[in-house]
Amino acid sequence: DVKVTQSSRYLVKRTGEKVFLECVQDMDHENMFWYRQDPGLGLRLIYFSYDVKMKEKGDIPEGYSVSREKKERFSLILESASTNQTSMYLCASKSFNQPQHFGDGTRLSIL
């Protein structure tokens, strides 16, 4: 079974802080993704990566950056957190011709 682990289930941070969300997968998948999920807006893709040190912008990359130094780990960085970044953040990974598998999410609150 694919396991995608997100480091925190709940996180509370202050406006202006630099925030790191971590995601680890144990299946040697090439592709990893970061989404945010908001009521009424569904899942929206922030960034994805198809290989180590490679990244591509998704639909809503503004205010975020990512890091993929090792194949199994994909980090989402909020450079200067703002209240409109309060959301549920979901990480996913996939291999070639397989569906995306998701972690259980990090519920982030920015105060």
Binding interface with other proteins (CB under 8 A): 4, 31, 33, 40-45, 48, 50, 56, 58, 90, 92, 94, 99-105
Which residue number, 13 or 107, has a Cβ lying nearer to other proteins? 107
Q: Closest separation between CB of residue 90 and other proteins, Å? A: 5
In contact, 46 and 38? CB cutoff 8 Å: no
Cα–Cα distance measured from residue 44 to residue 25, given in angstroms and rounded to the nearest whole number: 20
Q: Closest separation between CB of residue 70 and other proteins, Å? A: 19
Q: Beta strand 4-6 with 19-25: parallel, antiparallel or unpaired?
A: antiparallel
In contact, 103 and 9? CB cutoff 8 Å: no
Q: Closest separation between CB of residue 109 and other proteins, Å? A: 15
Which residue number, 17 or 104, has a Cβ lying nearer to other proteins? 104
In contact, 66 and 43? CB cutoff 8 Å: no
